Structure 1
Amino acid sequence: MQVPVSVSLIVGLCLLGRPTMALRAAEPPAKEREPSPFRVVGYVPDYRVASYDADAAKYLTDLIYFAAEPSPSGEAGLERIKPATLNFLKQIKEKHGVRVHICLGGWNRSKNFAELAASADARKKLAGQVTQFCLTNGFDGVDVDWEHPTKARELKDHALLLGDMKKAFEPHKLRLSVAMAGWQEISPEAIAAVDAVHLMAYDGKGRHSTFEFADAEITRVAKKNVPLEKICLGVPFYGRAVAKHDTALTYGQIVKKSHPAPEVNEVDGVYFNGPKTIERKTMLALEKKLGGVMIWELGQDAAGESEKLLPVIRRAIDASRQKR
């Protein structure tokens, strides 16, 4: 998952082995609910956990903890998670009934995927380790964010990796998703293996995440035969400078500094998605019958409840249902 540079986005991780505090799959959350068919998926990097508002998870169906960096030999790289973090995620799951997932890879954490995926033994090891991690800790699935398989061999191995993971997951009903940019290629085998495709419809040129760009990216990925119901449209909770693209601010920083009106998407040369654009994108995803929306990332939202972007998504979904 590519992220704003100046906000130090890109994270570390999860764990493997037998933690002291586990999310036990055998014990369903006390307040577990059936997630909506339209998913609201949000990433939380490990460095945001200490400051993340757990009550905001009430607006989600799925929370993805970002992200492990697998080794070339297939070690999952999940050993760095702290028991306190597991306990925190357990509390979120129990209170709000969200599904919790582990992410593998991401921007600056994908360098080993090509070597790993080319080895049948390494693929099998990784699939086995993440399966055991999920079962031991009550996680509901894995998100694979390889940035980016581009060569023909890598695309083939990408599909093999996802296929091996799907095979390991199926007996346990674990979910498998993949993150991708619109320009990426993806094989039919990879598409078939996953439950969801998280479309990173941001970090484009200039005004990096316009409504028009999102609409075009959906069309672009659909033409690659990705079923609409598998696509979760990615929306950014951060802004990028239009001229100097490596300059970025979280939405929370933008609100604190400038207090933009809901319809405003650009302040001081920084382009972002304000509430009205987030609402429009959510409605677009609903109208196109996509699988949901995806947020990079939850810790970048504004602090005040009345200023947050996440509730805007939920209100748009509720309004759409009332019109039916």
Structure 2
Amino acid sequence: MCIQQKIKKSILWALCVCLLTLCLPVSVYGSDQNERLNSKFRSGAYFHYSYKTNLDDIRFDKLDYIIYAFVEPYADGNFRPLEKPEQVKELIQRAHAHDVKVFMGIGGGSTAMDFDILASDKDSVIRFIKSTMGLFEEYDLDGIDIDWESPLVGQSAKNCEALMQQLSKELKAKGKYFTCAVSGTYKPDKGIDSTNGFTDACLDTFDWIHVMTYSLQRTNSPLWFPDVSLQYWHNVRGISTDRLVIGVPFYALPSWKTYRDLIAENPEAAYIDQVLGADETQESNYNGINTIREKTKLSLQNGGGMFSWVVNVDAPGEQSLTALIYDTIKEAEAMGVSNFVNKPTVIYKNREIKFDASSGYPFIDVANRTMVPFRKSAETVGMTVSYDAVNQIATATGNGKTIQIPIGQPNIIVDGTTIALDTQAVIYNNRTYIPMRAFFENAGCRIKEWHNNTRTAYVE
């Protein structure tokens, strides 16, 4: 080998080592469970009284806070009686036993007109604030979440701003949390009618906002929805990323089936986002495990937390989305958030390939190619691995194929045929890394999708 080739290879080696170390565990992010919620990445959920619920099924150990939905205001500022006050008390007791905060959600989708009327009348505003603060005397609450869907641009928006400023003052004096729910958007640079009614001064009163990135017609909650919504609320409206908490649905549209019911019908539904029915009304579009993981990764990168609508209908056990969100956050904290969001994820036949420190983590190389640990990838697709240390050639055999990987060479050999690559396999910490597409496609698989915003590959 000539000197120039040796220098070139040494430089490439150093760059690959540098890139790979970005994926190794180095730091912890916001892991103190006792710190105030607005200084950490949050895992929250709405709880709605209308669903038949066994509180034993709620994963309190996987949540930072729960919002009980809803207490509904009358136009005069008083509240409609709660449907299940004893349920609220038991929920609060169980949540607090797990150090989980509980907020009362005020409003709901059908209360916009009542909000509009009460916010325009001085006496109604006084009654509303008194009624709200009275909730803290009746229930051991930690905060309030406002669900006004939504004030209109103009006088309605001004009245909303004034009301929220007054209520915020009362809540902050008691050290309580104050949040609200807002709509997602279809474009990163433009809001919709239901977002424009919240003035900047109004939004400033809240500790954080819940961005409702679900119920987008029959598609419900595609991956791009929270992505563009986070861009809008941060770049256009100026909300800091740590105050943006994105929402995910635990239900399907247009069938309105719950995630729990879909999984009960077919456990494999946990790993996909659509189940077809007998007709269009029975089609179920929702978010399964893989999409929820991607959205959590998006929020770790550009947001301040995750919440679900609603936790009552989550599935139990290994298919729990509440547990998945929490465990994904903890994985990011252990690895270091920037390392985690930059680490590629590979989904093979709808299951994540669990790369770890012992197998090595995927990374993006200097040629902008996704590199995956060779042994773990090969064994996942049913192949066996061997290594020729003298000639530095790794080999995978199985499924009627033999794939040879010359280390440091811009090619691989498949069943005796040399195939050129635009990058090359490398060794780091005694592990061989191979370009993802080159390996999987020559092993008889197909890269079905690549999501660049979350660095996630779907292989089948």
* Superposition TM-score tier, normalisation by shorter sequence: 0.7 to 0.9
The counterpart of 2:201, out of the listed 171, 189, 196, is: 189
Q: Is the 8 A contact 1:278 1:309 kept in 2?
A: yes
Aligned to 1:60: 63
* Shift of residue 192, structure 1, vs aligned partner: 1.0
* Shift of residue 135, structure 1, vs aligned partner: 3.9
Determine whether 1:264 maps to 2:308.
no
Judged with a 3 Å threshold, the aligned counterparts in structure 2 of structure 1 residues 83 and 217 are, in CA distance, closer, same or farther, namely: closer
Determine whether 1:154 maps to 2:156.
yes
Q: Is the 8 A contact 2:262 2:269 kept in 1?
A: no
Q: Is the 8 A contact 2:263 2:269 kept in 1?
A: no
The counterpart of 1:73, out of the listed 71, 76, 89, is: 76
Q: Please, which runs of 5 or more residues in structure 1 have no aligned partner?
A: 1-31, 242-246
Aligned to 1:89: 91
- Which structure shows the bigger proportion of residues in strand conformation? 2
Aligned to 1:280: 294
The 5 A counterparts of 1:246-261 are: 247-260=255-268
* Shift of residue 47, structure 1, vs aligned partner: 2.6
* Shift of residue 206, structure 1, vs aligned partner: 4.1
* Shift of residue 142, structure 1, vs aligned partner: 0.8
Please give the alpha-carbon distance, in whole angstroms, between the structure 1 residues aligned to 2:306 and 2:143: 17
Please give the alpha-carbon distance, in whole angstroms, between the structure 2 residues aligned to 1:174 and 1:213: 31
Letter in 1 for 2:46: Y
Letter in 1 for 2:102: V
TM-score, with structure 2 as normaliser: 0.59
Q: Deviations over 1:264-314 (max 9, x none)?
A: 1111032110001111111111111x2211110011211x31121110001
Choose between structure 1 and 2 for higher RCO, CA contacts under 8 A separated by at least 6 residues.
Answer: 1
Q: Is the 8 A contact 2:92 2:141 kept in 1?
A: no
Letter in 2 for 1:95: A
Tell me how large the CA RMSD over aligned residues is: 1.9
- Report sequence identity in percent: 24
Aligned to 2:221: 209
Q: Is the 8 A contact 1:104 1:142 kept in 2?
A: yes
Q: Is the 8 A contact 1:141 1:176 kept in 2?
A: yes
* Shift of residue 85, structure 1, vs aligned partner: 1.9
Judged with a 3 Å threshold, the aligned counterparts in structure 2 of structure 1 residues 59 and 188 are, in CA distance, closer, same or farther, namely: same
Judged with a 3 Å threshold, the aligned counterparts in structure 2 of structure 1 residues 126 and 320 are, in CA distance, closer, same or farther, namely: same
Task: Give the SS at the match of 1:209.
Answer: coil
The structure number with the bigger radius of gyration is 2
Please give the alpha-carbon distance, in whole angstroms, between the structure 2 residues aligned to 1:177 and 1:145: 9
The 5 A counterparts of 1:160-239 are: 160-182=162-184, 183=192, 184-185=195-196, 186-222=198-234, 223-239=236-252
TM-score, with structure 1 as normaliser: 0.82
Letter in 1 for 2:249: P
Q: Please, which runs of 5 or more residues in structure 2 have no aligned partner?
A: 1-32, 185-191, 277-282, 337-460
Q: Is the 8 A contact 1:202 1:234 kept in 2?
A: yes
Q: Is the 8 A contact 1:123 1:164 kept in 2?
A: no
Question: How many residues align structurally?
Answer: 285
